[in-house]
């Protein structure tokens, strides 16, 4: 226990980096998700196909391979990425694919007659999208994105494998340093500590997501709010 307390400043720095990556990738995923998710419900078959391909590809390849590809593969395109940048890009592309599914699901969950009625009232397509479809879809989209944040926070650990100094990587360093300097292997305590902190963090986020869902559903009356959250993968992979 004293080992954990002695290294607390380090752990806190790692935890901060984890949260930072989580928030940054959530923002990037939201942007990618909204753009692609909107394109996925347009009338253009080609656009829909492109989005479908992107989503399926990113969901079929293990996330860690994806991050390795960006980190080790960037030099192929004449880029030199830091581990931090590679992890953020890899996670954002993955989060963006899942975000696109969420947004698409949310938009398709709005009953058809809403757009039809708006069209009958003479609203233009952009007006219908912004004033009619999006606000109703948001009810399903917001809790799903909160769920996505939980997954993203969990997946930041993969950054450790390319050397991002996030929570897990810092803990690895603490284990190594203590083993070398003091001759004892504290892996059990340290990784148990990491597990507990992650559990507290992520279960709070999961709880927040469920809470948002119930609050927004209550506000929407008895009507079902679509199934955006069920389109989220239940786990990082």
Partner 1 sequence: MDFDPAYLAKQLPALWRGLLVTIEVSAIAMLIAFALGVFGATIRYLRIPFLSPLLWFYVEFMRNTPLLVQMFFIVFGLPALGLTLPLFWAGVVSLALWAAAFHIESLRGGLATVGKDLHEAGTALGLGKWQFLALVGLPLGLRVALPSMLNTCVSLLKNSAMLQAIGLMELTFVAVDKMAMDFRMLEMFSVLLVVYVALVFLLSAAANWLEYVLQRPFRI
Give the footprint of partner 1 on this chain (CB under 8 A): 57, 60-65, 68-69, 72-73, 75-76, 150, 154-155, 157-158, 160-161, 168, 172, 175, 185, 187-188, 190-192, 194-195, 198-199, 202-203, 206, 233-237
Half-sphere exposure of 163 (CA within 13 A, CB side): 6
Measured from the CB atom, the residue of 72 and 214 that comes closer to partner 1 is 72
Neighbours of 35 (CB within 10 A): 15
Shortest Cβ 199–partner 1 spacing (Å): 5
Nearest distance from C-beta of residue 52 to partner 1, angstroms: 14
Minimum distance of partner 1 from residue 122's CB (angstroms):
43
Token pair of 237 as six digits:
């992979």
C-alpha 28/C-alpha 168 separation (Å) is 22
**HSE of 64 in the Cβ direction (CA atoms, 13 Å)?**
8
The residue (of 222 and 235) whose beta carbon lies closer to partner 1 is: 235
Q: How far is the CB of 152 from partner 1 (least distance, A)?
A: 11
Which CB atom, from 130 or from 199, has the smaller least distance to partner 1? 199
What is the rounded radius of gyration, in angstroms, for the C-alpha atoms of the chain? 21
* CA-wise closest residue to 194 among 185, 202, 205, 183: 202
C-beta atoms surrounding 163 within 10 Å: 14
Task: Compute the least distance from the CB of residue 57 to partner 1, in Å.
Answer: 7
Residue 111, both tokens: 């009953």
Nearer to partner 1, 16 or 65 (CB): 65
Minimum CB distance to partner 1, residue 186 (Å) = 8
Calpha distance 104→218 (Å, rounded): 22
Question: Which two tokens mark 42?
Answer: 């347009």
Shorter beta-carbon distance to partner 1: residue 118 or 162: 162
Closest distance between partner 1 and the C-beta of residue 228, in Å? 17
- Measured between alpha carbons, how far apart are the two ends of the chain, in Å? 32
The smaller minimum CB distance to partner 1, of residues 40 and 58, is found at 58
Between 34 and 71, name the residue whose CB sits nearer to partner 1: 71
CB of 19 closer than 8 Å to CB of 153: yes
Q: For residue 94, what is the enclosing H or E element? A: helix 83-109
């Amino acid at each position: 226990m004293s080992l954990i307390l002695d290294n607390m400043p380090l752990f806190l720095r790692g935890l901060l980096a984890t949260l930072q990556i989580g928030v940054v990738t959530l923002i990037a995923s939201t942007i990618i998700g909204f753009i692609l998710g909107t394109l996925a419900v347009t009338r253009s078959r080609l656009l829909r196909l492109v989005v479908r391909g992107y989503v399926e590809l990113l969901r079929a390849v293990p996330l860690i391979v994806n991050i390795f590809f960006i980190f080790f593969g960037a030099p192929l395109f004449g880029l030199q990425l830091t581990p931090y940048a590679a992890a953020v890009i890899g996670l954002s592309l993955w989060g963006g694919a899942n975000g696109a599914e969420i947004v698409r699901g949310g938009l398709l969950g709005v009953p058809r007659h809403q757009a039809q009625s708006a069209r009958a009232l003479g609203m233009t397509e952009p007006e219908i999208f912004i004033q009619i479809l999006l606000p109703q879809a948001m009810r399903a989209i917001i809790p799903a994105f909160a769920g996505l944040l939980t997954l993203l926070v969990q997946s930041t650990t993969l950054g450790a494998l390319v050397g991002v100094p996030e929570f897990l990587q810092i803990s690895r360093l603490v284990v190594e340093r203590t083993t070398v300097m003091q001759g004892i292997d504290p892996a059990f305590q340290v990784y148990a500590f990491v597990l507990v902190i992650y559990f507290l963090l992520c279960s709070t986020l999961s709880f927040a997501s469920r809470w948002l869902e119930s609050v927004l559903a209550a506000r929407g009356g008895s009507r079902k709010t679509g199934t955006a959250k069920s389109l989220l993968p239940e786990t990082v992979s």
